[in-house]
Amino acid sequence: MNAGQDSLGFGLGLRSEYYQAILEQRPAIDWFEIVSENYLVDGGKALYFLDAIGEHYPLVMHGVSLSIGGPHELDRDYLRRLKHLAQRVQPAWISDHLCWSRGNAHQLHDLLPLPYTEESLQHVAARVCQVQDVIERPLVLENVSSYLRCADDQFSEWQFLSALSELSGCELLLDVNNVYVSARNHGFDAWEFISSLPKQRIRQLHLAGHSDYGSYLIDTHDHPVSDPVWQLYQRTLQHLGPVSTLLERDDHFPDLDELLGELNKARLLAAETLQGGSQCA
Amino acid sequence: MRLSDWQAEVQSYLLNGDVTPHPALQASLLGSAALTAEQGLAIYHNAYRARLLETLRGDYPAVHGWLGDDEFDALALAYLNAHPSQHFSLRWLGAQLADFIDGYLVPAQAAPLSELARLEWAFTLAFDAIEAPVLSMAQMAELAPEDWPSLQVRLLPSVQWLTCGHNSVAIWRACKEQTEFPGSQPLAEVETCLVWRDQLITRYRSLATDEAAALQGMAVQGWNFAELCGELSGLGEQAPVQAVTWLRQWLSDGLLQRYPTD
């Protein structure tokens, strides 16, 4: 699955701040990842630009509110709308996060980590299968940055992701920055995390920036990618070969050119790492 | 602890204003040399409030501008306690703020503030309302003379109809243009304000009482064009002229769709 011919190349998270510039400049970006919820609306500007940009670039859908590990019933209305959006967008794949974002009573609007236990594994795997039945394709799940670790954990996060993928058939979105942030916060080895995942299940990589609070890190997506994350990315590519790579920025938006420069850095690093491999579009 | 029990503990911790965790939740967590369990929980606790407050500030910039940070945040937190989010999208987080203000403040304070909140929410509703075919001037030009009397129209789905007893539009405009806060004033006469989306641009306009009554009659109550002219009979021979003038204005604004739809 992660073979070079399946890689979309180097993409950028589509944000409204860049709609106009993208249509005017048609930048050399291989693909865009949309936040699905931003387009689960009835009409207006977001859908207009989605259609216009989708005419020129491949798109991938990335959700933030599936709450695959939540204690509630899966939201059938949300899934129906997600599927409807997928019919409009024709995404290369659909992703969300290994997390829960809704409690039994209320929406919590955060990517909350799960205890990595056998109970969680069975709970999430069953729900992934339900989602896949609706969307009629493998769900791609991303590792989140976390600031909590449960005393009852029976698996490491990477063991949990591997077992979940095996049980449910889901694919993985490996966020290299999130691995780095969680590794620093919880004191595990980032490379052990990445190298232990099943290679053939990794559909996509994420790169983003974080904020350094001294002893710990917070995943803020408002800075350029840090040097240690670039190093981890390079090592990841050596290990995996070419994989679709996506740069995320969610705050302190710089000019599009600056993000293009950062994306180009990923492109050059990949070319250098893979000895001028064919991953570049 | 079972998964669902642990999640209930985390939810309760996030929703509670107190950053000190319940002992059962604290005992379920491991800290590290870099990040203690209390610090980790506090990151989520802070992020939950910060994210929701940022959303409400973004949806209600004029209410925020009027109240200032501290008063707005106090209002918003009281609202969130009364109405924890029920929708998967933050888009709908602030849907009930205006109604909440009506019950939260004394009526004299609530009336102008909730009216401003309704105006701001109307902009969000118009912004992403469903599309519908706009009745254009060109289509009207092709309408056969014998079809004019029976012509019926409806408002487009994006059109939001507001009744203002205060200078909410002036306050909203001052916030938008970053000019001095004009102070809240009751209007001498209640005014109709429309907010709608024209192509991709969200627009607004205040209507005089007679124009608002005519638009209400034709596009909401369902009068046809002949009935509109009949309602204006007090104007004598000028009735059809006035009716056509308004209709042109509404078409030019992009407010109307043909009824029944094809």
| B129 contact A CB<8A | yes
Tokens matching residue B166: 């205060």
ipTM of the complex: 0.94
pLDDT, residue B262, reads: 62
Alpha helices in chain A (DSSP H): 19-25, 45-54, 76-89, 118-135, 157-168, 176-186, 190-196, 227-240, 256-273
A32 burial via Cβ count (<10 Å: 0-12, 13-18, 19+) = buried
Closest by CA to A179, choosing from A161, A154, A152, is A161
**Alpha-carbon distances of B227 from B145, B148, B230, rounded to whole Å:** 16, 11, 5
Query: Which B-chain residues 61-90 have CB contacts (< 8 A) with chain A?
Result: 84-90
Residue B167 CA neighbour count, 13 Å, CB half: 14
pLDDT, residue A111, reads: 98
Residue A73: CB atoms within 10 A of its CB come to 9
pLDDT, residue A3, reads: 41
Handedness of CA A44, A45, A46, A48 (dihedral sign): positive
Decide if B166 contacts B115 (C-beta within 8 A): yes
Among the four given CATH numbers 3.90.930.50, 3.40.190.10, 3.40.109.10, 3.40.250.10, the one describing domain B129-262: 3.90.930.50
Whether A280 maps to a domain, the answer reads no
**pLDDT tens-digit profile of B74-122?**
999 999 999 999 999 999 999 999 999 999 999 999 999 999 999 999 9
Question: pLDDT 10s per residue in chain A (281 long)?
Answer: 444 558 999 999 999 999 999 999 999 999 999 999 999 999 999 999 999 999 999 999 999 999 999 999 999 999 999 999 999 999 999 999 999 999 998 999 999 999 999 999 999 999 999 999 999 999 999 999 999 999 999 999 999 999 999 999 999 999 999 999 999 999 999 999 999 999 999 999 999 999 999 999 999 999 999 999 999 999 999 999 999 999 999 999 999 999 999 999 999 999 999 985 444 33
Smallest Cβ–Cβ distance between B11 and the set A45, A108, A184 belongs to A108
3-state secondary structure (DSSP) of residue A140: strand
**pLDDT tens-digit profile of B6-23?**
999 999 999 998 999 999
**pLDDT tens-digit profile of B145-191?**
999 999 999 999 999 999 999 999 999 999 999 999 999 999 999 99
Domain count for chain A, please give it. Answer: 1
Tokens matching residue A182: 């969680």
- Positions of CATH 3.90.930.50 in chain B: 129-262
Kindly state the greatest CA–CA separation across chain A.
Answer: 53
A275 burial via Cβ count (<10 Å: 0-12, 13-18, 19+) = exposed
Smallest Cβ–Cβ distance between A184 and the set B30, B34, B85 belongs to B34
DSSP code, position B31: -
Question: How far is it, in rounded angstroms, from Cα B201 to Cα B39?
Answer: 44
What are residue B113's phi and psi, to 5 degrees? -75, -40
Mutate to test the interface with B, among A84, A108, A112, A114 (most CBs of B within 10 A): A108
CATH code for the domain of A55: 3.20.20.150
Whether A279 maps to a domain, the answer reads no
Give the range of the structural domain holding residue A111, as residue numbers without chain letter: 4-273
pLDDT, residue A273, reads: 94
